[in-house]
Chains A and B, each alone.
Chain A
Amino acid sequence: MDSSSLTAIWLTCKLATLTTVLLLLIGTPIAWWLANTRSRLKGPVGAMVALPLVLPPTVLGFYLLIAFGPHGFIGKAMDALNLQRLPFTFAGLVVASILYSLPFVVQPIQNAFEAIGKRPLEAAASLRASPCDAFFSVALPLARPGFVTAAILGFAHTVGEFGVILMIGGNIPGKTQVLSVKIYDYVENANYTQAHWLAGGMVFFSFIVLLLLYGSRKRVAWNR
C-alpha cells in the first residue's frame, strides 16, 4: 500500500471519528425531543432527519455546495465571521457528513428512548430527580445499547460516504481525499492493485463492524 493510501485511510478515520462524536452530541437532544414530544412538528422534523436516507447523495451535496458558496446563507455567514468558506475543506466534509449520517445516529437513539417509556422517568421524578438529573442518571444509561448502535452506524456510514464528498470536497490529497474517493481515483487510473488493497480492506472493515453490531444486539437481548 502506498503512502497516499495511508493518508486517505488516516483522513477517513479522522473524519468518521469527529463526525460520530459531533453526531452523538447533536443527535441525542434531537432524538430525545422526537421520542418525547407531542408537538405537531414531530412529523416534519422526523422526516427532515430521515431525508438523507432516501435522497441521492449528489442531491444533498449539490445543495450543500450552493449553501456553502459565496451566495449561500452558510457561505455568507462564514464571510461575515471572517472564516474560510467550507467547500473543498475538511471542515466542510465534517458538516456534510453530519447531515448525511444524521438519521443513522438519531433513529437508534430515538428508538432506545422510546423503548424505555415514561415509567422509569416517573419513578425517578418520584425519587426527587429533576428532569435533567433523570435524563443523565436513568434515560442515558438505559439507552446505552441504542448509543452503541448509533455510534457504530454513524461511523461506518461516514466511512462509506462518496457522492456528497465528491460534490463538496473534491479530491485534495490529505485534505478531502478520503478512502472511497481514493479508490475511485485508483480505478480511474487503472491502478487495480492499490484499489484492491483499499476495497478489500473496506469489505473486511464493514464485515467486522456489522459483526460487532449484531453480536452486541444479541447480547443485549440476552441481558433482558
Chain B
Amino acid sequence: MRGHFNISYPGFTLDVDLTLPETGVTALFGSSGSGKTTILRCMAGLERSPTGFLSIAGEIWQDEQRRFFLPTHKRPLGLVFQEASLFPHLTVQKNLQYGMKRAGNAKDEGFEAMLDLLGIRALLGRATDGLSGGERQRVAIARALLTRPRLLLLDEPLAALDMKRKLEILPYLERLRDELSIPVIYVSHSLDEVARLADHLVLIKDGSITATGSLTDILARPDLSSAFAGGVGAVLEATVVAHETDGLTRLEFPGGKLYIAGGAHAPGSPLRCRINANDVSIALSAHTDTSILNALPATVIAVADADTPGHVFVQLRLIGGESLLLARITERSRQALAITPGLSVVAQVKSVAILR
C-alpha cells in the first residue's frame, strides 16, 4: 500500500509519503492536530489532495498525475469515526444492512458471524439512540466490515469512550485484528491502545512523518522518546512456556526468558508485553545477591538524552536475539559505569506489563 498526500490549510501543511504493509494493524500515532486524521480522510477519499497518489494491493484509488480520483463510495473500504455516526433514523439492524445492501453483500454473508464477533446480536431491533457509546462503536465497526472492505480505517474509535467502555471494546478489536485478513489503519493518540493493537507504527508530527517501522522497533528507539511522553518503553513479543509451581509464568522470546507473576495464558500462546524504561536498570555483571528475578545479558546499542533532566535513555539488544529494550538511568550512573555503545551489560527488569 503506497500513498502520497499533500494538503495545505491556513496554518497547517500536510506532506506525507507512505509505504505501508498490506496486512496487520498500522497505527498512525501523533498528538491532536498533527494531521493523522487528515491522512486517513485522504485515504478514504473524503479529502482530495491536489497532488495525491494512493494504491492498495496493486489497485490505484488516486493518481492526480493522471487526474484520477476514485470517489469514496466507489472505494471498497470500511470507515469508523470517533463518534459512531450511526444513522439515527434506522434501527441497528437497518444500519448494518445499509452498507451490506449497497456493497452487494445480499446473501448476508458473514452477518451471523459478525453479530457474534462483536457481541451485538441482542441489539438488532433497538433504536440507535438507546445504545451506550461502546455498543454504538461495535455496531459501527460491524456495519463497516459487513461491506467486505479491502481496507479498514479506524479514526480514534475509542477516544470518545470512557475507560470502562474502552476496556469493554478493546478485546473485540483484538479479536478483529486476529481474524481479519485486510490491512487496518488505526489513528490514535493513545500509546496504550497503539501498543496493544498495532503491528506497525507511523509517527506523525506537524503534518510530516517522523518515523515508520514495526511497533517493537519504533518503541525501542531512544531518539523518538519525546513522542511517547511518559510511556517510554520497549515492547516484546514473547511466548508462554510454562506455569511454574511457585506461581510464576515463564515466557520466552528471541534473546531470553522472563518470569512474570500469574498469567492465565495457556502454554504456547503468544504474549505481548511492555517493559517501561523506568523499570529497567543496568548492571555491569550478573548478580546473584539481588531480589530482581529478570536479569538479561545485553549489549548497549545507543545512548540518548531523556526527556527529564539528568537522565539518559540506553537502548539495549539482548544477547542471542534481536529483541530490544530501553532503560532510563541517570547521567551520573552512565558516567560511573562508563556506559557506551558496544558495552556488554546485564539489564535488570523490575516489572513487566502484559499488553495482550
Contacts and interface: CB of A to CB of B under 8 A. Distances in A.
A4 interface: no
A141 to B, nearest CB: 4
Interface residues of A, number: 21
A223 B99 CA distance: 25
Contacts, number: 63
B257 to A, nearest CB: 46
A4 to B, nearest CB: 46
A128 B87 contact: no
B19 interface: no
Nearest to A137: B98
B86 to A, nearest CB: 8
A137 B88 CA distance: 12
B147 interface: yes
B99 A128 contact: yes
B144 interface: yes
A127 B88 contact: no
Given A133-B102, A137-B98, A126 B87 contact: no
Contacts of A133: 73, 102
Contact of B87 (A120, A125, A144, A223): A120
A127 B103 contact: yes
Contact of A127 (B46, B74, B99): B99
A4 B228 CA distance: 83
A44 B44 CA distance: 34
Given A122-B46, A133-B102, A128 B88 contact: no
Contact of B79 (A120, A126, A129, A144): A126
Given A122-B46, A122-B72, A127 B85 contact: no
A74 interface: no
Given A126-B77, A126-B78, A142 B72 contact: no
A221 to B, nearest CB: 13
A123 interface: yes
Interface in A93-132: 119-120, 122-131
Contacts of A138: 87, 89
Contacts of B72: 122, 125-126
A142 B44 CA distance: 24
A123 B102 contact: no
B-side interface size class: 20 to 34
Contacts of A125: 45-46, 71-73
Q: What secondary structure prevails in chain B residues at the interface with A?
A: mixed
B144 to A, nearest CB: 7
A128 B79 CA distance: 11
B73 to A, nearest CB: 5
B103 A128 contact: yes
Contacts of B73: 124-131, 133-134
A54 B355 CA distance: 66
Contacts of A123: 79, 81, 85, 87
A142 B103 contact: no
Contacts of A128: 73-74, 99, 102-103, 147
A127 B148 CA distance: 10
Contacts of A129: 73, 98, 102
Nearest to A116: B88
Nearest to B79: A126
Contacts of A141: 89
Contacts of A130: 73
Nearest to B85: A123
Contact of A119 (B44, B74, B85, B99): B85
Nearest to B127: A223
A103 to B, nearest CB: 27
B243 interface: no
B182 to A, nearest CB: 15
B143 interface: yes
B200 to A, nearest CB: 22
Interface string A143-178: 010000000000000000000000000000000000
Given A122-B72, A127-B98, A142 B88 contact: yes
Contacts of B143: 127
A138 B83 CA distance: 17
Contacts of A137: 98
A125 B102 CA distance: 10
Interface of B: 44-46, 71-74, 77-79, 81, 83, 85, 87-89, 98-99, 102-103, 129, 143-144, 147
6 contacts: A122-B79, A124-B73, A125-B45, A129-B98, A142-B89, A224-B129
Given A119-B85, A120-B85, A124-B87, 4 more contacts: A125-B73, A127-B73, A128-B73, A128-B74
Shortest beta-carbon contacts, A-B, top 5 = A127-B99, A126-B79, A128-B102, A125-B72, A123-B85
